[in-house]
Amino acid sequence: MKIICIGRNYVEHAKELNNPVPTVPVIFMKPDTAILKDNKPFYHPDFSTDIHHEIEIVLKVCKEGKHIAEKFAANYYDEIGLGVDFTARDIQQKHKEKGLPWELAKAFDQSAPVSNFIPKSQFSDVYKLDFRLDVNGQTAQKGSTANLIFSFENVIAFVSQYVTLKKGDLIFTGTPEGVGKINIGDRLTAYLGNEKLLDFEIK
Ligand code: ZN
């Protein structure tokens, strides 16, 4: 499986990092070795001193597809969860300055903690999902899918023009504002609506 991530999909987050608001989705990927499940602790690597949390809605792809039309795109994911797109901001910044790819800042081991997934059918409107990340009990990030720049269907249609989607692939759909540095000893908890889906420690 693969993990496809959307960068800058919420206006306020693009602004907080002084990035332009995109007119087409910004795409990058993480390998399957980035997955961290079952609320296992994240072990802070020593190659970065500025790893940021980015809480995101994650879609699970349920069937193979390429060149998917936007009007059928909703049929290609059937479960929704939460994930954290850990980002080594110091490494990313250096690569951005040189115009180089971001992989080292985004694709490292354990850089994609994911929750359990909930069937899409349990949500009356996937564009009215509130989610948040608390760090040590204080809310750091709060988002709503009502504020997405690119809809889930839009993202699926766009990505599948280039990359075939397969059952089990995950799509990280972008983070709202409030990204920030994590520290050893922090406890991260994340909620989709009122349901706690992530609860893990930084070690
Ligand atoms: Zn992200």
* Total domain count, the chain: 1
Is residue 89 predicted with pLDDT exceeding 90? yes
Give dist(CA 81, CA 104) in Å, integer. Answer: 25
Distance 151 CA to ligand 1 centre (A): 15
Distance 158 CA to ligand 1 centre (A): 17
The pLDDT of residue 14: 79
Distance 30 CA to ligand 1 centre (A): 11
Distance 72 CA to ligand 1 centre (A): 25
Q: Which residues pair with residue 133 across a beta bridge?
A: 141, 190
Distance 94 CA to ligand 1 centre (A): 17
Q: CATH number, domain at 97?
A: 3.90.850.10
Which of 21-25, 43-47, 75-79, 101-105 has the lowest average pLDDT? Answer: 21-25
Distance 40 CA to ligand 1 centre (A): 20
Q: What are residue 89's phi and psi, to 5 degrees?
A: -65, -35
| Contacts (Cβ under 8 Å, ≥6 apart) of 162 | 27
Residues across the chain? 203
Distance 5 CA to ligand 1 centre (A): 6
The token pair that represents 39 in the structure block: 């609320």
Distance 172 CA to ligand 1 centre (A): 7
Is residue 50 predicted with pLDDT exceeding 90? yes
Residue range 99-153, pLDDT digits in tens: 999 999 999 999 999 999 999 999 999 999 999 999 999 999 999 999 999 999 9
The confidence band for 75, taking pLDDT boundaries of 50, 70 and 90, is: very high
The pLDDT of residue 52: 98
Coil, helix or strand for 143?
strand
Which H or E element spans position 192? strand 187-192
Is residue 12 predicted with pLDDT exceeding 90? no
The pLDDT of residue 61: 98
The token pair that represents 110 in the structure block: 């354990």
Closest CA to 110 of 190, 31, 182: 31
Distance 67 CA to ligand 1 centre (A): 24
Question: Domain range spanning residue 35?
Answer: 3-201
User: On the CB side of 18, how many CA atoms lie within 13 Å of its CA?
Assistant: 3
Single pTM value for the model:
0.96
Distance 173 CA to ligand 1 centre (A): 7
Distance 8 CA to ligand 1 centre (A): 7
Distance 51 CA to ligand 1 centre (A): 12
Q: Which residue has the tokens 């809605």?
A: 57
Give dist(CA 36, CA 23) in Å, integer. Answer: 31
Question: Are 180 and 165 contacting, i.e. CB atoms less than 8 angstroms apart?
Answer: no
The pLDDT of residue 16: 85
